[in-house]
Amino acid sequence: MKRKLHGNITVYMGLTTGIILSLVFSLLEVVHLVSLGQEKEILSQLGAESVLADYNRPLWTDYGILAVDAGYGDAQFQKAAVENRALSYVEANSNNSLLSLDATGVNLKGYTLLSDANGRAFLKEAAMAELYGIPQELLQQQTGLCQQMESDATSDISMEDMLNNAQNSLDEAESLREENQESSKEGTSTALPSEPVENPILNVQEWRANGVLAQVLPSDVTLSGGTLSDQRPSKRTLQTGSLPAPAISATDRVLYGLYLRDHLQSYTHPKHHDGLAYEWEYILNGKSSDEENLRLTVEKLLALREVQNFIAIQRIEKCQLAAEATATALVGFTGNPAIIKGVKQGILAAWAYMESVLDVRTLLAGGKIPFVKNDGDWTSDIANLGNCFDVNTKAKESEGGISYDAYLVAFTYLESETHVGLRCLDVAEAAICAHPGYEHCRVDNLLVKGQFVFSYEGKPSFASMVPALRGKVGRYSFLREWELAYYT
């Protein structure tokens, strides 16, 4: 015989159960809402990072700089295209979610372009790239070298003034010589040198009349004939972003100089980039041809080495004695100490110039020279300057000396930030456009920082199961701003 079981529930238990279930579903809805918020964070990060992950490949391969081509093959910046890309990445990831969060839009609220503030974003990225790979001690050493060269480059020593003063002294001595020759006819002349003495000042002045490249490079050297188009970024009006470009510090100036050493071609370090062969020399001078940029760089090197060598020669006793002896042989007959001193200083200036020519030849050949020379480092001889006119004659090398690249780092440090930044953009754009498929790329389309505002909607999952919430909770709306930059 089967027993019948009777079930019943009290009103109290029914109310209690209803309240508990409402509480459970309310808590589940809260958890669902929190989960939607977390999903919003993840999707926003993925969307922003996915846009910036689509960086320009040639720019990264050739120069180690990250930027997104927001022209996407066109010559104009396309804000809507960037927003659509971000939205597509978010939608692709949200489709795999169980939370039913829908992306409804993306707004690129603000952005910075690689070309903003005359390429300051490029320089900041370059400085940061170099910072992570250089020992602090080496950075301090290079900073000190740049500061010392800045002091030398702005020295009040004028080699031209010394040579002009020496020429005035020689002219005055020649006038006295002519007077003595007139007096000799009358039998009252002062003793003159029996044989004319070779004048190193005149010899060097005649040599300086040659082009600087002819003075420092053998005739069989073939120079690059590379040129840049007049449509380069520094010659046109550039598009600008809506966010400020990053600031550049004094340390950044040293770092981006070191970056150029490692990533750009120069006369001594070809890297087989498309475009100019002497990229770094272009950064320093801004001329459209490789040969002209190399010539101007050599002129800067000669000018700086001339000052450094003139300072050094004042402390080398054998050079002082030789210059004084030569000056005395040339104009000692005048008996005028001021004339002799003026000629002596001119001889030292001419001698320092010839030593500088030898230095630059060594630097261009890939060697190193002492930053400050002493007796043992000096190469040229005033008694045999003719040997120095042979372009194959070079200065003595020094293992612990300064290279061509180190001088170019210092010149970069001394150059204005505006010039360096714009010319870096010129070089980079020319190289990028030489790659198949990137012919229309423009540096003022390249995005390096973006402020993305993502909007989402989600529907409640458990609110309809709570009598008090049924019909009162609509769709949820979310906004999430996400800022991302390559240089932070």
Q: What number is the average pLDDT over the span 424-452? A: 92
Q: Does residue 159 contact residue 351 with C-beta atoms inside 8 Å?
A: no
Q: Which two tokens stand for residue 401?
A: 């000396």
Q: Rounded to an integer, what distance in angstroms lies between the CA atom of residue 152 and that of residue 308? A: 7
Q: What number is the average pLDDT over the span 226-235? A: 88
For 447, phi then psi, to 5°, come to -85, 130
Indicate if the pLDDT at residue 154 is higher than 80. no
- Please classify residue 36 by burial: count the beta carbons closer than 10 Å to its beta carbon, then call 0-12 exposed, 13-18 middle and 19+ buried: buried
pLDDT tens, 89-120? 998 887 766 677 888 999 999 999 999 999 99
- pLDDT at residue 142 in the model: 87
pLDDT tens, 117-153? 999 999 999 999 898 878 888 888 888 888 888 887 7
Over its C-alpha atoms, the chain yields an Rg (Å, rounded) of 37
- Please classify residue 15 by burial: count the beta carbons closer than 10 Å to its beta carbon, then call 0-12 exposed, 13-18 middle and 19+ buried: exposed
pLDDT tens, 389-421? 889 999 999 988 999 999 999 999 999 999 999
Higher pLDDT, 93 or 357: 357
Distances (CA, A) of 463 to 277, 320, 456, 457: 69, 98, 19, 16
Position 40: which residue type?
Answer: K
Q: Rounded to an integer, what distance in angstroms lies between the CA atom of residue 61 and that of residue 67? A: 12
**For residue 405, what are the contacts with CB-CB under 8 A and spacing of at least 6?**
261, 266, 268, 269
In 10 A of CB 336, how many CB atoms?
15
How many CA atoms lie less than 13 Å away from 343 in the CB half-sphere? Answer: 28
pLDDT cut 90: percent of the chain above it: 49
Indicate if the pLDDT at residue 194 is higher than 50. no
On average, the pLDDT of the chain sits at 86
Q: Does residue 54 contact residue 84 with C-beta atoms inside 8 Å?
A: no
Q: Does residue 458 contact residue 24 with C-beta atoms inside 8 Å?
A: no
Q: Considering the entire predicted model, what is its pTM?
A: 0.82
Strands 101-113 and 446-458: antiparallel
- pLDDT at residue 409 in the model: 93
Indicate if the pLDDT at residue 257 is higher than 90. yes
In 10 A of CB 347, how many CB atoms?
27
